Homo-oligomer: A and B are copies of this chain.
């Protein structure tokens, strides 16, 4: 059954009781807004093209046209993806003449990338 919600009054049962005594607690239901933010973060990492870009930038900074050549994709597509990576604060950039050199934002990002890559390599 289960129409949509019943809300029988007892909101706390079974899985919730250990929140009262603070022991294994502090692992609480993620708030909607926080879940949203966290989801957006992972969403940036959920695209193969963006991950490949990050794998290139993990080595050294690189300009857009080189990235495009390496991935054999149009510079437009790459530019769009770098925009997402920028918005997600996963990369930084520096302008030099007409070129723009991108790099991973910080070591935090590199570590996350490598951790997951190794995790999946099993």
Chain A residues at the B interface, C-beta cutoff of 8 Å: 2-8, 11, 13-16, 18-19, 24-25, 27-30, 32, 34-43, 45-52, 54-56, 58-63, 65-66, 68-76, 108, 112, 115-117, 119-120
Determine how many copies of this chain the complex contains: 2
In the complex, A63→B96 CA distance in Å?
56
* Partner among B8, B43, B65 whose Cβ is within 8 Å of the Cβ of A2: B65
Main secondary structure of the interface of A (DSSP, over half): helix
Given contacts A2-B74, A119-B108, contact A29 B14 (CB under 8 A): no
Given contacts A72-B5, A112-B115, contact A39 B29 (CB under 8 A): no
Q: A4-B74, A28-B55, A35-B49 are in contact. List 18 more A-B contacts (CB 8 A).
A: A2-B74, A2-B76, A11-B70, A15-B61, A16-B59, A27-B58, A28-B59, A29-B52, A29-B55, A29-B56, A29-B71, A34-B117, A38-B48, A39-B46, A39-B48, A39-B50, A40-B46, A42-B45
